[in-house]
Amino acid sequence: MTYRVEISPTAIKDIEQIFLWMRDFSLDDAHRWVRGCYEIMLTLEKLPNRCAVAVESQFGDEESLEN
């Protein structure tokens, strides 16, 4: 079974901000880190139990996962 992974606008913005900070130190590492983030998140399409449910999930209507 395949699940749909939705990456929130807040998460995307956070990843972009971290990328901008990291690129000042190493552009290659910043690109590698961003690629890794998205690759990990997309593995949830087939392995949704791969990450624990985030504590913040208890405050909203949708479940969030943490790595």
Contact yes or no for 4/45 (Cβ under 8 A)? yes
Tokens of 52: 């624990």
Is 3 in a helix, a strand, or coil?
Answer: coil
- Residue 31 vs residue 63, higher pLDDT: 31
Answer whether 0.75 is exceeded by the pTM: no
CB neighbours of 1 closer than 8 A, spacing ≥ 6?
none
The confidence score (pLDDT) of residue 3 equals: 84
The phi and psi torsions of 40 (rounded to 5 degrees) equal -65, -45
How high is the mean pLDDT of the chain?
83
